[in-house]
Homo-oligomer: A and B are copies of this chain.
Amino acid sequence: MADTTSATPKYWNSSISEVEPEHVYVRGYDLEDLIGLPFSVNTFLVIKGRMPTPQEAAVVDALLSGVVDYALQKSGTVAARAVVSCNPSMTAGIATAILGAGEYSLSPESAAKFISESYRAFVESGLSETEFAQNLVADASARRFRIPGFGHPVFRGVDPRSEKLKSIAVEAGLWGPEAQLYEGIHAEFTKNPKVAHFPINDVGMLAAIATAMGFTPAEATALVVIGTLPGVAAHISEELRSGVMIRQIQPELVNYDVPRRDFAADRRSAGWD
């Protein structure tokens, strides 16, 4: 059993699971009971520490399916295929794709941080949602701060994937005040004609829903990124079967600017021998 009365504190503390000789207890439940549960249920349980309701599990499935695949237009997928074309290892490929989620793509981390910090500030402000949103948007444009999660290269006005994600959260009764506030900020933001057509994009919406469910920005990132891995695994598997080795960028796609130089002369003039 957990040594919770330990007088001397220990270097490590963990509340997630505990291993006994014949049983593993995950968040207090015997692993044997968790085998076969829907992935969304185990995901919520192990991260949040309690059994989800069916509604919460449904929204976790939404978070996990927001970005199922994006063909060879997702950099992490391209990187994973390049890696396994030399190092035919599924785990090396998946690790690579994970590293390709970041500030410019896939990761909801900055949007989730913005939403949770804005919500905290809103609660402390005592202002109405509209007043708060007006101040925030005015301040952001003054500071030239780009609010994360707004705008999309293709969709104007509405991003249908975001709409689908929102409808699932609303139907589950989990469209919380943080998501509400983010939408209010978006409404205020789009009053500016120059950006009136900016929708809340899929990553912004995933961040809003995850935050409203009480996931931290890091946990929101984990959920969105895990959701992309079946697609990554499919691409790695397709690459391993392709028979192509050592993927490269064909020279005709590259402008190489490497003027030839005189090694001996340059070495001398740099002061060697």
Contacts and interface: CB of A to CB of B under 8 A. Distances in A.
Interface of A: 1-4, 6, 9-19, 21-22, 24-40, 42-43, 46-47, 50-55, 58, 61-62, 64-66, 68-76, 78-80, 82-83, 85-92, 94-96, 98-107, 109, 154-155, 160-161, 164-165, 168, 216, 218-219, 221-223, 225-227, 229-231, 233-238, 240, 242, 245-251, 253-261, 263, 266-267, 270-272
Given A79-B82, A86-B105, A255-B13, A248 B74 contact: yes
17 contacts: A9-B255, A10-B255, A11-B250, A14-B71, A14-B238, A16-B71, A16-B231, A27-B261, A38-B39, A51-B267, A78-B78, A86-B103, A90-B109, A94-B225, A95-B95, A95-B99, A222-B229
A255 B10 CA distance: 6
A229 B85 CA distance: 19
Given A12-B254, A27-B258, A90-B222, A76 B65 contact: no
B3 A34 contact: no
A106 B86 contact: yes
A103 B245 CA distance: 10
Of residues A38, A219, A234, which shows the largest number of chain B Cβ atoms within 10 Å of its Cβ?
A: A234
A256 B266 CA distance: 47
A31 B161 contact: yes
Given A35-B164, A95-B98, A230-B47, A87 B104 contact: yes
A247 B75 contact: yes
Given A54-B272, A236-B218, A98 B100 contact: no
A101 B79 CA distance: 13
B19 A70 contact: yes
A181 to B, nearest CB: 23
B91 A46 contact: no
Contacts of A51: 266-267, 270, 272
Given A26-B69, A104-B246, 19 more contacts: A4-B255, A26-B68, A35-B62, A36-B165, A37-B61, A37-B65, A39-B65, A51-B267, A53-B270, A72-B249, A72-B254, A75-B83, A75-B246, A78-B78, A79-B79, A86-B104, A91-B221, A105-B245, A218-B233
A198 B98 CA distance: 37
B46 A234 contact: yes
Contact of A10 (B29, B102, B234, B253): B253
Contact of A96 (B30, B69, B83, B155): B83
Nearest to A12: B254
